[in-house]
Chain A
């Protein structure tokens, strides 16, 4: 072998040895070090960061906008991607430790009742046998279908009641806020109670899931307008009941509470958009598309986000007053496609539902991409959380955006949630509508 042949042989050996090192290394990035989202959702692995997922190209604190959005594109919903292209900026943040989002009592109930959930074809969950109300906790910690994911949302809320003082802000295409409606909202869960006695179900209210009042307090034109509605435990058998108090008429009228597609106070949000998805399950079909890593708004913003007057002043806004610049964190998300079975303003909705270890009380749908009847992307719903009391959970800042991506119009919803106040059924009643009216 001459000298030249030796050198060639040496190069080949170095290359071969290098490959022997490199190939397993590459294999470990995709398979061994980065767990699947499902493994993280089912608590079998640790949650990776955006830095892990992007091989260091994106780090915590980086700002993502339309110029560099390709770096994280695969972790965004179609609606969020479009919002970024329309001017939204995202700060890369971090997720909270698992199980820090909801109260311990709810986690204990999940453990206690594990494997006891049975569900009918409409997504109504019972304890051990059909007819016995679910006692609380997340019924399907490792959901296998779209309906099980949705059942977790409805029957594993992790809160017994809450009071919200909220601001609904209308932002026009130019990013200028031009209208503000303020409201008080009260929810009382009569079933699946884990925090406050009576636990399980409120005696006498076995067929009710929750009662709710919503009272507008500003501007004067609508002040005192209120709605009282009841969601039944099995909403496929008993559809919602609703009443409204009209201050201009000074009286309470019965209203159809099944008009989910109408706008709330003229905003971009429909009644069915509340909490990401609020319509009865029986008129939708749900298909679990998968469990993926998705960037969602941080479950606890590191700065004050919302107060009684809306978004806090220190929050940076982009495109005028349109998009709050906040932190986003990688989270294992169940992606559910919802198709309406009835004539609907939406052609379909893609719901991004946070997996059990990363729940916040009653905030599970964190992103919803809503398509119009022509299946064009129409509106994106984004949920935000500010400060809250970990473990005790009596206070939480909450906000959401509904951004019409076709017109550029947006509705912002900012609130302070007071959790587990100890509301009683009589606090949410027809009497309350009159008392809160004017």
Chain B
């Protein structure tokens, strides 16, 4: 452990906050002005122990030693970490939620959070990286009051609600979540994700990583008296007038980094960099996103019809200039590119039906159709490794095309009396998948697949057959959750299995002895060996992220 940890980070701040909270909080909610202004919140520390392997995207020995690189660089983009780290995450949170309700029809809400990420402070094997990178031009101010690589104070959410009977409005920085599936974002398409720290491995799934945006949301409830057959009908819409932000990916050195750096990094010339240089990034700040859905209930059927006009959350690049074949000695990059976030239209639906007792099961179907999903063309920047010499490889620029994409899921959920005398177990079973009709013509990434997956035909420009980049995938999900002893203890387990022969197991245990303290222990195990762990659509892609997380929370 780094001996300067206490002072180097701002840990003292959290000790102070913890003490401050501990001595002032005795109620479950602090009333500052009667019931008009209240504050609740929590203090949390979490540590994630790395039970897996060294992150290959921070330290790829294969690429360092197989001759693929022309000469060993001083510090490669693939090799910023030499030894396995024991800590994947070490974070302390101080989160407050403020409610101001001066009238029944109006409410102001804000979630303010202070985070200290001391992962690199406690684990000296990690390369120093910006753990809280969510503050660049692409993300606007994000309400950040101040930050550095380890500490941030930010207004995470802030909005006002106006309830005018059948019309309800929410204006401000918020998350909008559609859809009903677990572990899958079929209709949950409005906000992008902050994947830079713990991806979806938190028990709260996406809540802490969905990036709030400034939007207007409105729901209008239509009285069913004028609509025969329908019990419930509402229209919901949202408008994002310009606070468009992309996905936030982990930076080099982050234990949760999940892809190679193909892009030349102009800020760090010592890194080998990659294949291209981005000359322009067309972020979508200032553009508009909007969407709406129609919700209904007809007898025991309920559902929504959705449409969203969005921009892709993930960047996609297109070559604008090629330098020809790779010159020798090794060049910094092969061409120039533009990074784009193309417009996409999402048509979706959800429908559910609840069966009566004794079945007591809810079945939900959810699907989206995207006619213009951007995928990389199959022939962009394909490089087998080793021979022939890199300098003789033909170079094809990268490009993307609008492709049809379908995402679907069916979910069965039931509360079952498994253990007599205890609460019912929440049992959820889900089948989900993605289908791209033109899957053979597109791929996930613009860069080269790993050397072990050379095209068997021996040509270098295509990936016909999509051997590695299998895009059309499906998965089965089983989620079990059981409370014990009046919800003092909770055991849960999430299992995701893909027919390719890979899986994720996510068992968890929580102990909540009263109103304030909560202790969590969770694990993540990734298994299977399909595609040698190199297929992004397979769960074993994260094979190196086996981990155990311990979390302690004091809420007030």
**A residues whose Cβ falls under 8 Å from a Cβ of B:** 170, 178-180, 182, 203-205, 208, 217-221, 223, 230, 238-239, 241-243, 247-263, 265-268, 283, 342-343, 345, 409, 424-427, 429-431, 434-435, 438
A213: shortest Cβ distance to chain B, in Å? 13
- Which of A254, A268, A431, A438 is the most central at the interface, judged by chain B CB atoms within 10 Å of its CB? A254
Once the chains are docked, how many angstroms separate the CA of A55 from the CA of B464?
98
Asked, given contacts A258-B357, A262-B415, whether A248 binds B362 with beta carbons under 8 Å apart, the answer is no
Q: Determine if B125 is an interface residue (Cβ-Cβ < 8 Å).
A: no
Once the chains are docked, how many angstroms separate the CA of A204 from the CA of B227?
8
Residue of B nearest to A252 (CB): B180
Once the chains are docked, how many angstroms separate the CA of A230 from the CA of B483?
26
Chain B positions 82-107 with a Cβ under 8 Å from a chain A Cβ: 97
Do A221 and B555 have beta carbons less than 8 Å apart?
A: yes
B140: shortest Cβ distance to chain A, in Å? 21
Complex partner residue of A263 from B361, B423, B555, CB under 8 angstroms: B423
Do B234 and A431 have beta carbons less than 8 Å apart?
A: yes
Q: Which residues of A have CB within 8 Å of B488?
A: 266
Complex partner residue of A424 from B165, B205, B297, CB under 8 angstroms: B165
Once the chains are docked, how many angstroms separate the CA of A230 from the CA of B219?
20
Do B486 and A409 have beta carbons less than 8 Å apart?
A: yes
Do A259 and B415 have beta carbons less than 8 Å apart?
A: yes
B457: shortest Cβ distance to chain A, in Å? 46
Once the chains are docked, how many angstroms separate the CA of A39 from the CA of B131?
77
Complex partner residue of B300 from A217, A241, A424, A426, CB under 8 angstroms: A241
Do B354 and A258 have beta carbons less than 8 Å apart?
A: yes
Complex partner residue of B358 from A243, A343, A429, CB under 8 angstroms: A343
Once the chains are docked, how many angstroms separate the CA of A438 from the CA of B188?
16
Do B40 and A223 have beta carbons less than 8 Å apart?
A: yes
Once the chains are docked, how many angstroms separate the CA of A247 from the CA of B210?
13
Q: Which residues of A have CB within 8 Å of B68?
A: none
Once the chains are docked, how many angstroms separate the CA of A238 from the CA of B555?
41
Do B207 and A249 have beta carbons less than 8 Å apart?
A: yes
Once the chains are docked, how many angstroms separate the CA of A425 from the CA of B512?
37
Q: Which residues of B have CB within 8 Å of A259?
A: 357, 360, 415, 424
Q: Determine if B124 is an interface residue (Cβ-Cβ < 8 Å).
A: no
Do B177 and A251 have beta carbons less than 8 Å apart?
A: yes
Known: A426-B221, A426-B223. 19 other contacts (CB 8 A): A182-B28, A204-B225, A217-B29, A219-B28, A219-B40, A221-B518, A221-B555, A223-B40, A241-B354, A249-B207, A259-B360, A260-B357, A266-B423, A266-B486, A283-B357, A426-B166, A430-B234, A430-B297, A435-B161
Once the chains are docked, how many angstroms separate the CA of A255 from the CA of B414?
8
Asked, given contacts A257-B354, A259-B424, whether A250 binds B175 with beta carbons under 8 Å apart, the answer is yes
Q: Which residues of B have CB within 8 Å of A409?
A: 486
Complex A-B: 8 CB contacts under 8 Å:
A178-B514, A219-B555, A223-B40, A249-B204, A251-B179, A253-B413, A259-B415, A426-B223
Q: Which residues of A have CB within 8 Å of B210?
A: 250
Complex partner residue of A241 from B179, B180, B302, B487, CB under 8 angstroms: B302
Asked, given contacts A178-B513, A409-B486, whether A256 binds B302 with beta carbons under 8 Å apart, the answer is no
Do B354 and A261 have beta carbons less than 8 Å apart?
A: no
Q: Determine if B543 is an interface residue (Cβ-Cβ < 8 Å).
A: no
Do B555 and A220 have beta carbons less than 8 Å apart?
A: yes
Q: Which residues of A have CB within 8 Å of B518?
A: 221
Complex partner residue of B234 from A205, A242, A265, A429, CB under 8 angstroms: A429
Complex partner residue of B40 from A205, A218, A239, A252, CB under 8 angstroms: A218
Complex partner residue of A204 from B170, B223, B413, CB under 8 angstroms: B223
Once the chains are docked, how many angstroms separate the CA of A48 from the CA of B275?
95
A71: shortest Cβ distance to chain B, in Å? 35
- Which of B166, B223, B515 is the most central at the interface, judged by chain A CB atoms within 10 Å of its CB? B515
Do A261 and B206 have beta carbons less than 8 Å apart?
A: no
A433: shortest Cβ distance to chain B, in Å? 10
Q: Mark B4-26, 1 if CB is under 8 A from A, else 0.
A: 00000000000000000000000
Do B224 and A204 have beta carbons less than 8 Å apart?
A: yes
Chain B contact residues: helix, strand, loop or mixed: loop
A98: shortest Cβ distance to chain B, in Å? 37
Q: Which residues of A have CB within 8 Å of B364?
A: 253-254
Once the chains are docked, how many angstroms separate the CA of A425 from the CA of B233?
12
Asked, given contacts A179-B486, A249-B207, A266-B487, whether A431 binds B168 with beta carbons under 8 Å apart, the answer is yes
Once the chains are docked, how many angstroms separate the CA of A342 from the CA of B417?
13
Complex partner residue of A220 from B41, B165, B360, CB under 8 angstroms: B41
Once the chains are docked, how many angstroms separate the CA of A222 from the CA of B86?
33
Asked, given contacts A255-B362, A256-B361, A345-B417, whether A219 binds B516 with beta carbons under 8 Å apart, the answer is yes
Q: Determine if B178 is an interface residue (Cβ-Cβ < 8 Å).
A: yes
Do A249 and B486 have beta carbons less than 8 Å apart?
A: no
Q: Determine if B253 is an interface residue (Cβ-Cβ < 8 Å).
A: no
Q: Determine if B137 is an interface residue (Cβ-Cβ < 8 Å).
A: no
Once the chains are docked, how many angstroms separate the CA of A168 from the CA of B211?
34
Q: Which residues of B have CB within 8 Å of A429?
A: 221, 232, 234
Once the chains are docked, how many angstroms separate the CA of A248 from the CA of B510?
15
Residue of A nearest to B109 (CB): A438
Once the chains are docked, how many angstroms separate the CA of A218 from the CA of B364?
29
Once the chains are docked, how many angstroms separate the CA of A241 from the CA of B354?
8
Q: Which residues of A have CB within 8 Å of B188?
A: 251
Do A220 and B556 have beta carbons less than 8 Å apart?
A: yes
Complex partner residue of B360 from A219, A254, A256, A435, CB under 8 angstroms: A256
A219: shortest Cβ distance to chain B, in Å? 5
Once the chains are docked, how many angstroms separate the CA of A286 from the CA of B533?
62
Q: Which residues of B have CB within 8 Å of A220?
A: 28, 40-42, 97, 555-556
Q: Determine if B295 is an interface residue (Cβ-Cβ < 8 Å).
A: yes
Q: Which residues of A have CB within 8 Å of B225?
A: 203-205
Asked, given contacts A251-B177, A255-B413, A435-B168, whether A342 binds B358 with beta carbons under 8 Å apart, the answer is yes
Q: Determine if B352 is an interface residue (Cβ-Cβ < 8 Å).
A: yes
Q: Which residues of A have CB within 8 Å of B295?
A: 430
Asked, given contacts A253-B180, A256-B414, A259-B360, whether A179 binds B514 with beta carbons under 8 Å apart, the answer is yes
Q: Which residues of A have CB within 8 Å of B29?
A: 217-218
Do B177 and A250 have beta carbons less than 8 Å apart?
A: yes
Q: Which residues of B have CB within 8 Å of A217?
A: 29
Complex partner residue of B486 from A241, A267, A342, CB under 8 angstroms: A267
Q: Determine if B3 is an interface residue (Cβ-Cβ < 8 Å).
A: no
Once the chains are docked, how many angstroms separate the CA of A343 from the CA of B416?
12
B268: shortest Cβ distance to chain A, in Å? 37
Q: Which residues of B have CB within 8 Å of A239?
A: 300, 356-357
B172: shortest Cβ distance to chain A, in Å? 13
Do A248 and B168 have beta carbons less than 8 Å apart?
A: no
Q: Determine if B355 is an interface residue (Cβ-Cβ < 8 Å).
A: yes
Once the chains are docked, how many angstroms separate the CA of A404 from the CA of B515?
21
List the 5 closest A-B pairs by CB distance, nearest first: A204-B225, A266-B487, A254-B352, A262-B424, A251-B177
- Which of B417, B486, B514 is the most central at the interface, judged by chain A CB atoms within 10 Å of its CB? B486
Asked, given contacts A218-B29, A263-B423, whether A242 binds B224 with beta carbons under 8 Å apart, the answer is no
Once the chains are docked, how many angstroms separate the CA of A434 from the CA of B167?
12
Do B424 and A254 have beta carbons less than 8 Å apart?
A: no
Asked, given contacts A429-B232, A431-B234, whether A258 binds B483 with beta carbons under 8 Å apart, the answer is no
Q: Which residues of B have CB within 8 Å of A257?
A: 354
Residue of B nearest to A238 (CB): B299
Do B180 and A434 have beta carbons less than 8 Å apart?
A: no
Q: Determine if B231 is an interface residue (Cβ-Cβ < 8 Å).
A: yes
B198: shortest Cβ distance to chain A, in Å? 15
Do A434 and B219 have beta carbons less than 8 Å apart?
A: yes
Do B357 and A342 have beta carbons less than 8 Å apart?
A: yes
Once the chains are docked, how many angstroms separate the CA of A430 from the CA of B188?
18
A225: shortest Cβ distance to chain B, in Å? 12
- Which of A178, A283, A343, A435 is the most central at the interface, judged by chain B CB atoms within 10 Å of its CB? A435
Q: Which residues of B have CB within 8 Å of A242?
A: 354
Do A180 and B175 have beta carbons less than 8 Å apart?
A: no
Q: Mark B541-556, 1 if CB is under 8 A from A, else 0.
A: 0000000000000011
Once the chains are docked, how many angstroms separate the CA of A95 from the CA of B513?
41
Complex partner residue of B180 from A204, A205, A254, A261, CB under 8 angstroms: A254
Chain B positions 343-369 with a Cβ under 8 Å from a chain A Cβ: 352, 354-358, 360-362, 364
Q: Mark B274-308, 1 if CB is under 8 A from A, else 0.
A: 00000000000000000000010101101000000
